[in-house]
């Protein structure tokens, strides 16, 4: 089970600010595919994934207990 934090339009689309998914030991790329195919998230190409508050590469592996966040293109400042 991993917890995935949601922000901005993703949070509004999901109607909540996090998801709990029965996944672990998968790569960032696999997570994005799963979110797109099984959970109907759109525009996953534009979403970055952060693991434990660091931007992750698509080959990085998500493990049990990691804090995962989906980061849409930022627009601060």
Partner 1 sequence: MKEELFLIVEEPIDVPALVKKVERREAGAITTFIGTVREWTKGKRTVYLEYQAYKPMAVKMMKVIDQEIKEKWPDTKIAITHRIGQLDITDIAVVIAVSSPHRKAAYEANEYAIERIKQIVPIWKKEHWEDGQTWLGDQLETVPYPSGKPIIKE
Whether 45 contacts 64, CB under 8 Å: no
55 binds partner 1 (CB under 8 A): yes
* Phi and psi, residue 15, nearest 5°: 75, 10
Cα 59 to Cα 3, 28, 49, 50, 68, distances in angstroms: 19, 6, 11, 12, 14
**In this chain, which of 21, 23, 26, 48 binds partner 1, going by CB under 8 A?**
48
Tokens linked to 44: 């996953």
Tell the smallest beta-carbon distance from residue 12 to partner 1 (Å). 8
What is the closest distance, in whole angstroms, from the C-beta atom of residue 48 to partner 1 in the complex?
A: 6
Contact call for residue 54 and partner 1 (CB under 8 A)? yes
Binding site for partner 1 (CB under 8 A): 5, 7-9, 11-12, 45-48, 50, 53-58, 69, 71-77
């Amino acid at each position: 089970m991993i917890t995935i934090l949601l922000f901005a339009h993703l949070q509004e689309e999901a109607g909540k600010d996090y998801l709990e998914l029965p996944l672990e030991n998968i790569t960032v790329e696999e997570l994005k595919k799963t979110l797109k195919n099984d959970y109907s998230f759109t525009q996953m190409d534009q979403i970055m994934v952060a693991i434990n508050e660091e931007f992750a590469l698509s080959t990085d592996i998500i493990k049990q207990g990691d804090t995962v966040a989906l980061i849409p293109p930022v627009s601060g400042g």
